[in-house]
Amino acid sequence: MRLGVLDVGSNTVHLLVVDAHPGARPLPAYSHKAELRLAELLDEDGAIGAEGVDRLVATVREGLEVAEDQGVAELLPFATSAVREATNADAVLARVAEETGAELQVLSGAEEARLTFLAARRWLGWSAGRLLMFDIGGGSLEIALGVDEAPDVAASLPLGAGRLTASRLPGDPPSSADVRSLRRDVRSGIAGVVGDFARFGTPDRVVGTSKTFKQLARIAGAARTGDGLYLRRELSRQDLRVWGPKLAELSVRERRELPGVSEGRAHQLLAGALVAEATMDLFGVETLEICPWALREGVILRNLDHMRPA
């Protein structure tokens, strides 16, 4: 059957359409993205402003129309940190439902971590052993560790690349003082959860999911997406030590010219690099593998697991 997920994230609203059935690998059929940057549209009170809500409603409506055109039999609409943490979340969700008919399921940070971990586990298989997963989104950082399909421990921190860029890195490029201040606070936030993971043992394999890790690996020399889905792509802490200072000196326009960096994410790549480097350093990870599956695939896999095999 043809399934779709409509992911209302902190950066984009992303419709992913797959052909899937229980017990089989979901096959991507279509992808539609609209840049929204909800995490950057919050006002001083933490609410999504009128313009942001209007844009969200229009973008969700567009996603529903595309899903219908693509023959989606079941659509799974959900929202993550930008909507979850908005002070007017209930009003926003009610308006989206009233004007589009889509009832967005708001995922908690823990759910984001568990579903992304599920996707990484299914991609890598049981041979990966004890798996440690990092995911840097627009609004939050998810970390999970475990030996099964559900992690033994998971955490979600408000350290998304879009959120940090909007609140902490003014200037193009930002000042060295702002970069140092953000680096210090990011490391402090991550250090606060490291002990929760340490007691569950040393990971056998470490993966990074999300666009941020993919783009950082690409500028560090990893293969292009077009070179094949199954090529092993890695990112090392040394890569980040080299590229972090370089990104801090580049303007957004200059970052856009780097290999694999999308125009819509170039502005937040520095914040993403600071989070990635701090996470790998504090968790003692020298090299991680890039996993192509993440939250959207996790939502699809969970839905398939709850279906009765044909």
Residues 45/33/171/178 CA torsion (nearest 10 deg) = 70
Report how far residue 123's alpha carbon sits from residue 121's, in angstroms, rounded to the nearest whole number.
5
Reported pTM = 0.95
- Give residue-wise pLDDT tens across range 38-86: 877 778 888 998 989 999 999 999 999 999 999 999 999 999 998 999 9
- Give residue-wise pLDDT tens across range 192-212: 999 999 999 999 999 999 999
Last residue of one domain, picked from the residues 106, 136, 169: 106
Last residue of one domain, picked from the residues 106, 123, 143: 106
Does residue 99 sit in the same domain as residue 145? no
* Phi-psi region at 228: left, alpha or beta (left = phi > 0; alpha = psi -120 to 50): left
Last residue of one domain, picked from the residues 72, 90, 106: 106
In this structure, is residue 307 part of a structural domain?
Answer: no
In this structure, is residue 175 part of a structural domain?
Answer: yes
Q: What would the two tokens of residue 79 be? A: 């929202």
In this structure, is residue 221 part of a structural domain?
Answer: yes
For the cut 90, the answer to whether the pLDDT of residue 22 exceeds it is no
In this structure, is residue 190 part of a structural domain?
Answer: yes
Report how far residue 227's alpha carbon sits from residue 17's, in angstroms, rounded to the nearest whole number.
22
- Give residue-wise pLDDT tens across range 222-260: 999 888 888 999 999 999 999 999 999 999 999 999 999
Q: CA 229, 138, 72 angle in degrees (round to 5)?
A: 55
* Domain tally, the chain: 2
Does residue 159 sit in the same domain as residue 228? yes
In this structure, is residue 280 part of a structural domain?
Answer: yes
Instruction: Provide the domain limits for residue 68.
Output: 2-106
The residues with which 32 forms a beta bridge, in sequence order, are 15
The CATH number of whichever domain residue 91 belongs to comes to 3.30.420.40
Does residue 157 sit in the same domain as residue 236? yes
In this prediction, residue 6 has a pLDDT band, given cuts at 50, 70 and 90, of very high
Residue 111: what are its φ and ψ, rounded to 5°? -65, -40
In this prediction, residue 308 carries a pLDDT of 61
Question: Who's near 148: CB < 8 A, 6+ residues apart?
Answer: 121
